[in-house]
Structures are given as structure tokens and as C-alpha cells.
Amino acid sequence: MIVCKTKEELKTRISLWKKEGKTIGFAPTMGYLHSGHISLIEQSKAKADKTIVSLFVNPTQFNDPEDYLKYPLDMEGDLKKCKEAGVDLVFIPTKEVVYPDGTPDLIMKQPALQKNLCGRTRPNHFEGVMLVVSKLFHLLNPDFAFFGLKDYQQFRIIEEMVHILDFPIQVIGVPTLRERDGLAMSSRNVRLTEKERENASLIPRMFTLAGKLLVGGEKNPKVFHEILADFLLSSPEVKIDYIESVDPHTLQEKLTLDGELVLAIAVFLGKTRLIDNQRFSKI
């Protein structure tokens, strides 16, 4: 496994692979890898000749400086997991390598896709995501890019960015991996206290309740969300950031619960913010 820390090392290796006609799969991560990240690697290895993983905690996508400073790190463990998973190259740049002139005076926006969900409650987050991902895409020139569907809004924004900017890249969404109790795997789960982790199990149980309500014929989003909110708030440990039902393609709020929809939530357990979503088809 090759480990690159500079743009020059990275470009040299990729240039060689491209000359050999190799296809490249890319899984961008912020490290502290878990089984969900490994599933991205597995998808890449099945699709591409070479697999690259980046480990970079991107400062421009954090609207809370404290959240950035507290993001969990385990570089040694991450490199070991990448090697065991069969990754061909790991890119571990510093902030100075990615942003040599400081934070660029460039703002990328997709107002329609950023209007709801995390775009409503995390200002400048997706601007930072698009900035770093576009830079990485230019550096790595991958054929395929893999993103977990746990952050469905991020997936759609990157997918649309690639379409708008004509990146020759296929963006592939990888299904969310879950713990035994159904909680979505996340690097943030490690921050939860034992009691908070116990209460986090309300999230997958809420999605089960949502499915039953939809099968039962509920069509009113307001009533639907109120029932789900009451269920989550049965624990005083839970604070709701948002509960929204949106169109899977446009991410606009559903006015009535019919057809395809993505039910997405963000909640706080203590100071830890967790996101999750589930896609439903209601006829």
C-alpha cells in the first residue's frame, strides 16, 4: 500500500496508473474508519482497478470550530484498516497541502439542494464539502467516487456538482451500514456516553414506526413528523435538530406523503449530533 502526503507524489503515481489504462476508485473520508467506510472500499475494489482513500479532516466544512477540534483521529489504526482492506493508495494531506494559500475565497452553492435538511441548520457546511471534494477530484482524477448514503444530502449535492461541472466521474452511493440495534455506523458514535448510546437506539426504532405509519395510510407530513418527534422526545437525552420528508431527487419537502420520499433526521444526544435517513416508497 502506497501512502502519499504531497500533491506531487499523488500525481506521479496516478499518472503512471492512467498510462497503464487502470481505472481508479476513490473513497474520500475524514478518517476514524469503521465498517461503513470499509464498505466504500469494498465497492471500489469491485468496480475499479485501483482504490484510493483520502484521510483528511476538512476544516472548511465545520461551522462549529469546537466540532472540528474534537473530531476523532486514529491515523495508525486507519492505515492498518486500509491495508487490510486492500487499498492501493492512501492520501493523507495536511491542511497546508490542501489549502496552501489559506481558505480560498471561493464559494460554491447549490441553493435548491442546500435549502433543507443539514443545509438549513449547518450554514457553510456544504460549501466546504463541495470545495474540498472538487479539489480532490481534480488531484486524483478518479473514474468512480463512493459516498455513503447515511448523508444522503451530501451524496445528492456531490452527484449534482459532478453533473454541473462535467467531471468525468461516476458517483456511487453506498447503503448505510448499521450496528446490531440498527443505529447507523458513524465516527461520532464513539463520543456517546453509555446512556446516550442506549437512547440512540430510538433512532432506528423511529424509522420502524415511520414505516408503519406510512403503510397505515398517513399522508400528512405535519402529523407524521409530530408523531415521530414525540417518539424521539420520549427520552430527555434527545434534542431534535430536524425531521423532514423530502423528494429523493430534488430534496424539496414533500407536501403530501406519496410516491418516493426520504425521511431524514438530525438529533443531538448530549453534544453529539447524529444524522440518519431512510428511503420509503408509498403508493
What are the binding residues for beta-alanine? 61
238 within 8 A of 267, measured Cβ to Cβ: yes
Contact 258, 281 (CB under 8 A): no
- For the question of residue 163 being annotated catalytic, the response is no
What is the CA angle 26-30-36, rounded to 5? 70
CB 256 within 8 A of CB 220: yes
Provide the annotated binding site for (R)-pantoate. 61, 154
Q: Which residues are annotated as a binding site for ATP?
A: 30-37, 148-151, 177, 185-188
Give catalytic residue positions: 37
